[in-house]
């Protein structure tokens, strides 16, 4: 899996949107991510994900995330942290 964006903020939204699409489109729940950023500052990344198909007998439904947003998104590249608000 890969994602890219014009800047690190757009990259975060693009990548999280790809992860969300895995769940919504394919019913795949991600358990583990190994990601490699590309560029400095990063504007792309290549990642492998591991997980399993959604099974309603084992995975209770909670609040559904509808979309990843740019609203109040904050990234600290030095600390490797981001704050993301999602639409539910």
Q: Kindly report, residue by residue over 27-70, the tens digit of the pLDDT.
A: 999 999 999 999 999 999 999 999 999 999 999 988 899 999 99
| Overall pTM surpassing 0.85 (yes/no) | yes
Those residues with Cβ within 8 angstroms of residue 43's Cβ, 6 or more apart along the chain or in another chain:
4, 5, 6, 7, 8, 10, 11
**In sequence order, what DSSP letters do the residues of 40-82 get, joined into one string?**
TTT-EEEEEEEEEE--TTTS---PPP-EE--TT-EEETTTTEE
Portion of the chain with pLDDT greater than 70, in percent: 100
Domain ranges of the chain: 2-52+63-87
């Amino acid at each position: 899996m890969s994602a890219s964006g014009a800047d690190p903020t757009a990259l975060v939204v693009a990548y999280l949107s790809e992860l969300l699409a895995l769940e919504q489109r394919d019913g795949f729940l991600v358990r583990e991510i190994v990601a490699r950023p590309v560029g400095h500052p990063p504007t792309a990344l290549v990642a492998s994900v591991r997980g399993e198909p959604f099974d309603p007998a084992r995975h209770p439904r909670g609040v559904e995330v509808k979309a990843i947003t740019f609203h109040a998104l904050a990234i600290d590249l030095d600390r490797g942290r981001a704050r993301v608000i999602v639409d539910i």
